[in-house]
Amino acid sequence: MLPLLAAGAPAAGPVPGDTWALEAGLTPLDVARLQYVGSAAVSPDGLRAAFVRYVPRDLRREKDGPSRAELWVVDLATGRSRPFVAGPVYVRSPAWTPDGCHIGFLAKREGDEHAALYLIPSDGGEARKALELETDIAAYSFASDGRRVAVTAVEPEPASRRKDRDRGFTEEVYEEDWRSRRVWVAELFGENANLRPLGFAGHVHQVHWRPHADELAVTVTPTPAVDDSYVRQRVWIVDATTGAVRCRVANPGKLGAVAWNPTGDRLAMIAAEDEHDPSAGRLMEVDPATGAFRDLLPGYLGEVEDFAWTASDTLVAVTSEGVRTVVLRLRLAEGAVRTERLAGPRGPAFTRIGAGGGRICLVGSTAWHPAELFRLDGPGRWERLTDSNPWLAERRMARQEVVTFHARDGLELEGVLIRRLDDDGRPGPLILSVHGGPESHIRNGWLTSYSLPGQVAAARGMAVFYPNYRGSTGRGVAFSKLGQADPAGKEFDDLVDAVDHLVDLGVADPDRVGVTGGSYGGYATAWCSTRYSERFAAGVMFVGISDKVSKVGTTDIPDEEYLVHALFRPWEKWMFLLERSPIYHAGNCRTPLLILHGKADPRVHPGQSMEMYRHLKLRSRAPVRLVFYPGEGHGNRRAASRYDYHLRMLRWFEHYLRGPGGPAPDWRIEHPLE
């Protein structure tokens, strides 16, 4: 078992910046094989936890594809874990049956046409298929009697439509030929599942069976549109037999997790404060009889990430306070909430939580290992239970620290800095890595992935800074709204101010600063490479925005853009949006820019990268390269696409921040696998 840790103690792992006789720092091939823990579920008796471990494809031995997802179970007393469903599988949504005798999960296994619900005995053995529909099961919830289950799945395609497709009529009618996701209720055991649909209207996202009652809490949108899922997802209480809607909750704006307490008399949700709140980050208690709700942490200057009930009147929540993570216990009473801190703000960056039988488990990372499973034993005492990448202990890690700075208007901001592995105290190359959203934030945890340069760049002599600019989450609703109606304004001025601060600290050489980011971070990269081109020596733009006018007309979330970002429609301020578009400033570009994009991206259309590329080709003499990834969307999923991206990003920065610069490196690239 890994060592028990007190609050504020570093997790087990190599000492950052240590000079032991260890191997070199992290490499691109290391990043390509990183495993990590995803969701976790604690057994009803609190003795074990089921969790998902993500395992990347090994391109030396396997066919390319997304990561595998295996089902593992850990004994919470001993810390010993073992695989239950492993190998070439993709398991998701593990959950224990109420009696603790089985673990449910969703998977599309060999021979399956669609993702089905499986059950595996809790002491191990062969999994059996418990329920299969004509389409993929998306979510499920067990009734407390242990005999029934509610599942969600897209309604089957009409036979006439299938017949047309077989004849070659494969046309797609945009935003009209979709099918809604419905709720079905079935028996878990026995040959006759007695499968029956519930007939209420709408597209269902979540389903949660109310303990000791024949009711469900479901989250519903008017249509399957992604935009609706972002800003119009509402909580309903429905009859589990008839589908009759008994209560509608008028939660405003965005919606996150929803869960019943163990006795079924309280419902909690993570929701937005109002329809203009950029993020679902407020913890609310809902009256299931009336739909009324109250904020359990009013005015909280943080962001609620996840929560779990531990008793009928007690829940535990993982929250972010800036770059730091906190675990709160809330005891609910009529008109009052008693709050206690169980962990943080120094320690792992927790993101997920599960509870059962008096036990609390957390998923989180630290500066030198990706997400692992932890057990929380009491205030200030957590224990790491898993070690998915033991070989990381053989790698040298660069020092990681929180940096606070002030924007030009005096606003206090913060971010996370990874120094160069062999930092000699003199200014050197710096990469500014900008998060997307902008309704997101950087945590002081593991910050290295296929698209985050992190420890790999540090090992190659380049520091990396991850700023939480204004408009980021984690500091309350008001802070997250600071960038609204001002795209590329003060929010991106904050990025330049961050660089200036690091130059003043002696960390960064002002002539060797690069910038990268994806989505809104890609927008920031394009802006810094054009409007602020004189400040940046290289840029790597990923699935980013270049034209604020055409972006609205080609995205699948135009209403989300309007409600929580722009606060106006494009036709109200055409010229303003054009001037806040990187293409408008393309003639000013002197920054070599590498542009990468998934060819099937529905969020930020690939045309945004094409526009950026073409405008730079026509109006700038700076080197520019555009790389498309066929089949990838708003971020790369396949192992080969991720590895290629990481290698190209690193080579671009090394060439322009540490190397000779000048013309772009050759477009061809080697992909070493040994």
- Tens digit of pLDDT for each residue in 434-454? 999 999 999 999 999 999 999
Strand positions, DSSP E, 322-379? 324-333, 336-343, 349-356, 359-366, 369-378
CA distance 184 to 175: 24
**Strand (E) or helix (H) holding 577:** helix 574-579
Torsional sign, CA 183, 187, 192, 194:
negative
pTM assigned to the model: 0.94
Closest C-alpha among 173, 264, 177 to residue 216: 264
CB-CB neighbours of 485 under 10 Å: 12
- Residue 507: count other Cβ atoms within 10 Å of its Cβ: 21
Q: Are 384 and 11 in contact (CB under 8 A)?
A: yes
Predicted pLDDT at 347? 87
Cβ–Cβ < 8 Å for 602, 634: yes
Q: Can you tell me the distance from the alpha carbon of 15 to that of 137, in angstroms, rounded to the nearest whole number?
A: 44
Amino acid, res. 107:
A
DSSP string, 236-291: EEEETTT--EEEEE---S-EEEEEE-TTSS-EEEEE-SSTT-SS--EEEEE-TTT-
Q: Nearest 10 degrees: CA dihedral of 461, 463, 464, 469?
A: -160
What pLDDT does 674 receive? 83
DSSP bridge partners of 203: 221
What is the edge-to-edge ordering of all strands in the sheet holding 92-96? 92-96, 102-107, 116-121, 128-131
Supply the pLDDT for residue 191: 64
pLDDT at 309: 98
Cα(152)–Cα(397) distance, integer angstroms: 44
Q: Give CA separation, 181 vs 186, 200, 222, 269, in Å.
A: 16, 11, 11, 21
Residue 334: what pLDDT?
77
Helix (H, G, I), strand (E, B) or coil at 492: helix
Which pLDDT score, from 0 to 100, does residue 335 have? 75
CA distances from 659 to 91, 397, 537 (A): 44, 23, 12
Q: What is the pLDDT of residue 23?
A: 59
**In this predicted model, what pLDDT tens digit does every residue of 256-305 receive, in sequence order?**
999 999 999 999 999 999 999 999 999 999 999 999 999 999 999 999 99
pLDDT on residue 16: 39
Phi, psi at 551, each rounded to 5°: -60, -45
Beta-carbon contacts of 390 under 8 Å, excluding residues fewer than 6 positions away, are: none
Q: Which residues of the chain have pLDDT under 50?
A: 1-21
If you search the block for the tokens 């840790």, which residue do you land on?
A: 5
Dihedral over Cα of 76, 78, 80, 85: its sign: negative
pLDDT value at position 526? 98
